[in-house]
């Protein structure tokens, strides 16, 4: 309950100061270029990956990217870049 209200408070602060929400709320920022490339900042790790599906842990849930010929082009501690043919991008919170 308190976590939720803290989140509300942060969001209000972000609105008030016009700060980027992903920084204030520590949320992932996802950039999808066509269906070819997907670039995620602020992730928490890889849960599962194969050439059809990649599940990534993000703050508060997970992000599921499915498609074909998926490869992780780059994996860093904060960001991850995925190449391949992307069909769906789905959040599960």
Partner 1 sequence: MSIPKIRYAVTGYLEISVTGRATEKFINLAMQEGIPLWNIRHGPEYAVLNADVDSFFDLRHLAKRSGCRLRIKRRAGLAFLISRLIRRRGLVIGLLFFVTTLYTLSSFVLFVSVEGNERIDSEHIRRLAADAGARPGVPKWRLNKDELAHQLILAEPELAWVGVQMRGTRMVIEVKEKIKPPVALERPGHLVAAKDGLVYRVMVISGVARVAPGDTVSKGQLLIEGALRPQAQQDGTAIPQAVAVRARGEVWAQVWYEGYGEAALVETERIPTGRHVSVWTLLIDGQPVLRVGRQQIPYIDYERSAVRSALFRGILPFPVELLTESSYEIERRKQRLAPEQARKLAAERARFLAESQLPAGVAVLSVTVTDQDPGREGFVGVRHVLETRENIAKDEDSGGD
Q: Give whichever of 32 and 49 is closer to partner 1, judged by the CB atom.
A: 49
Euclidean distance between CA atoms 36 and 34, whole angstroms: 5
Euclidean distance between CA atoms 72 and 87, whole angstroms: 16
Residues 42-71 interacting with partner 1 (rule: CB under 8 A)? 45-51, 70-71
Q: Give whichever of 6 and 75 is closer to partner 1, judged by the CB atom.
A: 75
Euclidean distance between CA atoms 31 and 88, whole angstroms: 13
> Under DSSP, is residue 60 helix (H, G, I), strand (E, B) or coil?
coil
Q: Give whichever of 7 and 42 is closer to partner 1, judged by the CB atom.
A: 42
Residues lying near partner 1 in the complex (CB under 8 A): 45-51, 70-77, 79, 81
């Amino acid at each position: 309950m308190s976590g939720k209200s803290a989140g509300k408070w942060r969001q209000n602060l972000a609105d008030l100061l016009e700060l980027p929400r992903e920084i204030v709320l520590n949320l992932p920022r996802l950039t999808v270029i066509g269906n070819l490339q997907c670039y995620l900042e602020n992730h928490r790790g890889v849960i599962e990956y194969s050439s059809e599906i990649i599940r990534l842990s993000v703050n508060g849930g997970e992000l599921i990217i499915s498609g074909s010929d998926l490869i992780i082009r780059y994996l860093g501690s904060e960001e991850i870049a995925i190449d391949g043919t992307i069909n769906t991008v789905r959040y599960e919170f």
